[in-house]
Amino acid sequence: MAGIPAVLEAGGVSLRFGGVRALTDVSFAVRRGEIFSIIGPNGAGKTSMVNCVSGRYRPTEGRILFEGQDVTRLRPNRRAALGIGRTFQNLALFGHMSVLDNIMVGRHHLLGAGFLRGMAYWVGGAQREELAHRREVEEIIDFLEIQHVRKATAGTLSYGLRKRVELARAVALKPRLILLDEPMAGMNLEEKEDMARFIVDLNEEWGMTVLMIEHDMGVVMDISHRVMVLDFGRRIAEGTPEAVLADEHVRRAYLGEADEVVSGAGEPAAA
């Protein structure tokens, strides 16, 4: 396992907003082909960490390496073009656009035909390229089982469907690393199972490395290869789900003092 190269490396990342320390000296590495989860109580800095990776925040200290390249100072759109896709904790679809258009925005950096070639749509190779894109987009739509709503306005869909469309949009980027910020928040059991299946398929069949924040401990323990635990902006544990669950610090900080709660992939703990 140790021989697999890291897709993402965070080294000594600290993030401060004025006097508030959101992250303190957090280091971790996500290996290629992994599902890596970040867990921790509310306000532990999980989303801040993901924002540092996606480029929404710039760490006060420390470095972020993506496939060996230092991306710490790159703007979010450059990182997306390099191959880091993401979804958001709160739904962030373009509500007035169709599902298809939402997904097409995700193709932005792949649509090579610029303005002029777009003009020469009927003459040049833009049409062939467009067809290839359409095919890939349809594949993503099929995979996430949203064919029936592809023409619908995104804002009119149910919550669970919107979450799926958002995932489709991030996948359309063809990222090699995908950041999922609470992909299952607010879902019922059935929707959660679907989403978990999509994530595992993305990882296994589409070959995407996944960095995920999730509160549902059952899901996290089920599908993650490794888990990192944050508390008050510090990394307090990292390892396989079993090892993390067994960790003394984690029990105390995250799962509560009472030890009987920790019983493997059971009910979601206080989160």
Partner 1 sequence: MDTTLLFQLVLNGLIVGALYGVVAMSFVLIYKASQVVNFAQGEFLLVGAWVCWWMLTHWQLPIWAGFLFTLAFMTLFGIVLQVIVLRPLVGEPVISVIMATVGLSIFFQALMKWIFGVFAQPFPPIFTVERVHVLGLEVQSVYLASLGVSALIMLGFWWFFTYSKHGLAMRATAYDQQVAQSLGVSVPKVFAMSWAISAVVSAVAGVVVGVVNGVSSALSFYGIKVFPAVILGGLDSIVGAVLGGLIIGVLENVAQYVDAEWLNWGNMYQIAPFYALILILLIKPYGLFGTRNIERV
Residue of 56, 176, 225, 234 that binds partner 1 (CB under 8 A) = 56
Q: Is 105 in the site for partner 1 (CB under 8 A)?
A: yes
Residue of 4, 12, 70, 75 that binds partner 1 (CB under 8 A) = 75
Q: Is 136 in the site for partner 1 (CB under 8 A)?
A: no
User: What angle do helix axes 159-172 and 189-204 make, rounded to 10 degrees?
Assistant: 10
Nearest to 75 by CA among 45, 109, 33: 109
- Please report, as residue ranges, which positions from 161 to 220 form the binding site for partner 1 (by CB under 8 A): 169-170, 173
H or E stretch including 190?
helix 189-204
Residue of 108, 148, 249, 252 that binds partner 1 (CB under 8 A) = 108
Helices and strands counted in the chain (H then E): 10, 10
DSSP 61-115: EEEEEETTEE-TT--HHHHHHHTEEE--SS----TTSBHHHHHHHHTGGG----H
Residue of 88, 157, 244, 255 that binds partner 1 (CB under 8 A) = 88
Q: Is 104 in the site for partner 1 (CB under 8 A)?
A: yes
Residue of 11, 33, 76, 239 that binds partner 1 (CB under 8 A) = 76
Q: Is 152 in the site for partner 1 (CB under 8 A)?
A: no
Which residues sit at the interface with partner 1, rule CB under 8 A?
54-56, 75-77, 80-81, 85-86, 88, 92, 94-97, 101, 104-109, 111, 113-115, 118, 169-170, 173
